[in-house]
Chains A and B, each alone.
Chain A
Amino acid sequence: MANALYIDYEFCSGCHSCEIACRNELEIGINDFGMKVLEDKPRQNPDGAWHWDYIAYPTELCDLCAERVEAGGIPACVMHCQAKVLYFGTIEEMTAKLAEKGSKGAIFVP
């Protein structure tokens, strides 16, 4: 079964740790991203509630840290995430997590 990343983006705080952790791991340049934090900027919804979302997602440079996983570890972005909203596992396991959360979750297969 192929692996995937699951993110609970209700609580991605947009700290950028995953981007730098990924860059360190892949040893890529300053303008390259294996993980990228996207922002949907703040606005007020019609009911007055505030909307402001960040979501970290893997680009085509992401190999889900094959080397780390091979050695018994987990992807660098998952380990360093400050809000602990990133998870790694099989697509099946990640789908179960998404189903459990029920809202503001996403699965990525880079």
Chain B
Amino acid sequence: MIDMNSIASDVLAATPKTGPVNATEWKTQVGDETIFRTCAWSPPGCHPVGCGLRVHVKDGVVTKIEGDPEHPITRGSLCPRCLALKEYIYHPDRIVHPMKRARADRGKDKWVECSWDEATDLVANAALEITEKYGPETIAVFGGTGREANNWYPQWANLVFGTPNSVYAQPGWSCYGPRMTNTAFMMGGGYPEIDYAAKFPLRYDDPRFTPPEVVLVWGKEPLRSNPDGIYGHALIEMKRRFGTKIIHVDPRITWLGTRSEEVLQVRPGTDTALAMAFIYVLAHDDLVDHDFIDGWTYGYDELVERVQEMPPSRAAEICGVPEEQIWRAARLFGNAKPSSVCWGLATDESTNGAQLGMCLVALMSITGFLDAPGGTTLGMGDDQGNVVRDGGSISADEKVDDATDSTLELALKNGIMSPETWFTKRVGVDKYPCVGSVLWTVQPDEFLKACETGKPFKFHMTQFISSNPISCIAGEPQRWWKALREMDFNFACDLFMNPVIMACCDVFLPVASTIEHDGQVVTHYGLNSSFYGAENKCVQVGDCKSDIEIMRMVGKKTYPDFWNRFETDEDYNNFHVFRSWLPWETLRNNVVTMSDEEYYKYKTGRLRPDGQVGFPTQTGRVELYSYAYANFQEDPLPYYEDPAYGPVSMPNMMKEEYPFVLTSGARRQEFFHSEHKQVPSLRQISPYPEVDINPADADRLGIEQGDWVEIWSPYGSCRQKAKVTPTIKEGVVHAMHAFWYPEQDGNEPNLFGAFKSNINILMPTSVNAKTGFGNTFKSMICNIKKAEDNNDTNFPADKGIVLEASRQGEFEYQETWRPADSPVVDPIPYDEIISAPETPLIDNIVK
């Protein structure tokens, strides 16, 4: 046994003696209890952080869940969501047997239990019939964010139903996708992350590590959200242990902001102007690494020329941040050695976000600290893995063919989906090929239009795994509600009843939680992995099954030739999930296997599939001037564009009817998006949704702390409670997202209060950037007033808010702003891709 006192009594100074060698076994017997060591992922929803758990089990029932002090990243710590996991898995409302409901009873709580065999028959027969009648492409599979099912929803689509149409319903695919695209287009290397020694068994004591002197946290609250696998509190560890300074860019003052050296409180949606000004200052003061720029980047001079249009004086005016603060913060960043960039969701949720991402990639690079100790690390990012074998890294070109076939390749090879279906039936990627080039899904705004209009074809069936779009990621959820109600057949794999299932589904398949199935968690979805964690099955609850087992069961009934080869989840995991990672047994025994990836992978040929040095881009360099964007008819350099809805674009509307700028979606420790609302210990922390409003605004409108208020935009309204706080500027409000009330009546029209407090009712769809990415979730306009209560169901069918006249006016505006009838951008055939004029040979790059 380890000496727990010595670890935690001064954990910051302690070197965790963890890793596979000297650690406690994954399963031990202590008296009449079995203690499992496991790494958490999902369900319930979370990012793949893989926090260490010790699960105590007696007679097949969990008695206690605590942190694992031997876990090298979390070292015994846990956030409230895992600490409340027992309340979640044994919740009386949890659904632990399959259920069905007659189609005519949608919206009514008339579910009846059925067997797994009957439930999966219903699903498979519906799919086969619809495939026969209308074609497999008329089936759509919805996935959400965070959960493991992120990995499975394209597999369900491509391999179980043979459809190319997997759907991430957020307008403009505005979570992670745009940042992945920026990374893929400009430098490769998976996903950039701040260096917190997360890959080394010795962590901060590894001699290779240098702590960052400054971390630039942009549009992100890592302490609450831990995206997308970062352990957010590492920022506090580094601040305390090394004095790491933080520059925080956020429209709100957050608690982390109060511990930051600089907080730049931007007007929502104007970040790109600020980021361009940062580059301006770095170039002006020559706070850049010319050796790195000359050797490893492309287009620096063009970038510097471009940012001349955005000196700090102009950015200050646009962003509402003092000019001298921009100079001061940018100099703090530019003088730091090393510096690191922590970019967040706000990069994605903006129509000008690709350009913000371009600036932030530049800020990671031109300082010379890309993939350097204490800088911004890169991953191999090779097809979500294939990077660890026998405990060590391998280069990306060592892939074994066949064993590493992608889901798409498997679907095509096994005749489950035809190439024609993939290339011509994936909705929206003809209009937005940029989205289609990086993501294997539909373009969601176009998909919604297809559902409503039947063009280019009508959809007949949907599945929901880890997605509750009516309560969470969809903009204009009322339109989605209407469209989904009309499908011939819908089903869901989940743990609790939710608004989308109650309103639309015909079959419910109950899913096992993170401690009820074997699996693997890889931080950052394998795109920049700190470690590979085993999820070990500790208990069985009801008849629940893992996502993979459910997929195998239905797969055997739809495409048996392919699926019959897998008898167990382990068969499938080893074939298609873990691939060339460690065999499952080894992963399990290790519990945590650190990736131990080296720095400077661009110097050692570990980023490029051909094994050459440099970056996997056309020029082999970090493309500050992006040919990839140019190929999608987007400006190859960053530019500033004001938000579609804001004081510059809509001065008259803001003067009169909608005087507030609305931003939304800041993360809470106690909830993962629409999840966890029924867990007592978590709901206690935030019983109601809250909208932040400045005291001066509240005073003027007669709003007091805790009052119910109505918030509305041209698209609809919702109600939340006022939180009067100086942390938000006058004229700006921030609203919580994804709030619904599982304790209320689930029958329509109430539908668990799905439409009462959902801020996305105010958010339009189809306000996308030229590339098809981006939305208005972080920068909308609204008005706000005191309301008496929150008793109004706000049910769309009663309100007539689906396509009411005022919203038509907005559509007209959208058409002017980004005309839909502009020529459709054709995907560019590979051999016609624009070539860089003076493509430097990889061999000539500085070594």
Contact = CB atoms under 8 A, between A and B. Distances in A.
Interface of A: 8, 10-11, 13-17, 19-21, 23-24, 30, 41-44, 50-52, 54, 69, 72-74, 76, 78-84, 87-89
Interface in B252-296: 253, 255-259, 263
A21 to B, nearest CB: 5
Given A76-B66, A83-B236, A16 B670 contact: yes
Contact of B80 (A17, A42, A78): A17
B492 to A, nearest CB: 29
B186 interface: no
17 contacts: A13-B255, A13-B256, A14-B255, A15-B224, A17-B80, A21-B66, A24-B64, A30-B684, A43-B726, A54-B255, A74-B4, A74-B5, A74-B9, A80-B67, A80-B78, A84-B77, A84-B236
B441 to A, nearest CB: 33
Contacts of A16: 80, 669-670, 685
A35 to B, nearest CB: 12
Contact of A42 (B67, B77, B237, B253): B253
A73 B4 contact: yes
Nearest to B5: A74
A54 B256 CA distance: 12
Nearest to A93: B9
Nearest to B256: A13
A51 to B, nearest CB: 7
Given A16-B670, A89-B9, A11 B78 contact: no
Contacts of B75: 84
Contacts of A14: 255
B701 interface: no
Nearest to B685: A16
A42 B233 contact: no
Contacts of B400: none
Contact of B258 (A8, A51, A78): A51
Given A20-B681, A80-B83, 5 more contacts: A13-B256, A14-B255, A15-B79, A16-B80, A76-B66
A87 B10 contact: yes
Contact of B11 (A13, A42, A84): A84
Contacts of B670: 16
A30 B680 contact: yes
B77 A82 contact: yes
Interface in B761-800: none
A13 B233 contact: yes
B21 interface: no
B681 A23 contact: yes
A13 B64 CA distance: 25
Contacts of B727: 42, 52
Interface string B80-91: 100110100000
A8 B78 CA distance: 18
Contacts of A89: 9
B648 interface: no
B253 A50 contact: yes
B79 A17 contact: yes
A19 B255 CA distance: 19
A51 B12 CA distance: 25
B240 interface: yes
A34 B816 CA distance: 59
Interface in B580-633: none
A99 to B, nearest CB: 15
Contacts of A79: 4, 8, 66-67, 69, 76-77
A81 B680 CA distance: 20
A12 B76 CA distance: 16
Nearest to B1: A72
A74 to B, nearest CB: 5
Contacts of A80: 66-67, 76-78, 83
Contacts of B239: 11
Contact of B259 (A11, A72, A74, A84): A11
Interface in B214-249: 223-224, 233, 236-237, 239-240
Contacts of A43: 726
Given A30-B681, A79-B67, A50 B79 contact: no
A15 B4 contact: no
The 7 A-B pairs with the shortest beta carbon distances in the complex, nearest first, are A20-B83, A79-B76, A50-B258, A82-B233, A52-B258, A82-B77, A83-B236
Contacts of A72: 1, 3-5
A14 B58 CA distance: 33
B236 A11 contact: yes
Nearest to A101: B240
Interface in B687-720: none
A51 B725 CA distance: 13
Given A17-B77, A84-B11, A88-B9, A24 B65 contact: yes
B64 A17 contact: no
A20 B84 contact: yes
Contacts of A41: 725
Nearest to B10: A87
Contacts of B263: 50
Which of B12, B79, B239, B256 has its CB near the most chain A CB atoms (within 10 A)?
A: B79
Contacts of A78: 8-9
A10 to B, nearest CB: 8
A24 B8 CA distance: 19
Contact of B78 (A17, A30, A83): A17
A72 B4 CA distance: 7
B255 A52 contact: yes
Interface string B124-142: 0000000000000000000
A52 B76 CA distance: 26
A87 B9 contact: yes
A13 B66 CA distance: 20
Contacts of A21: 66, 78, 83
Contact of A13 (B65, B84, B236, B685): B236
Contacts of A42: 253, 255, 258, 725-727
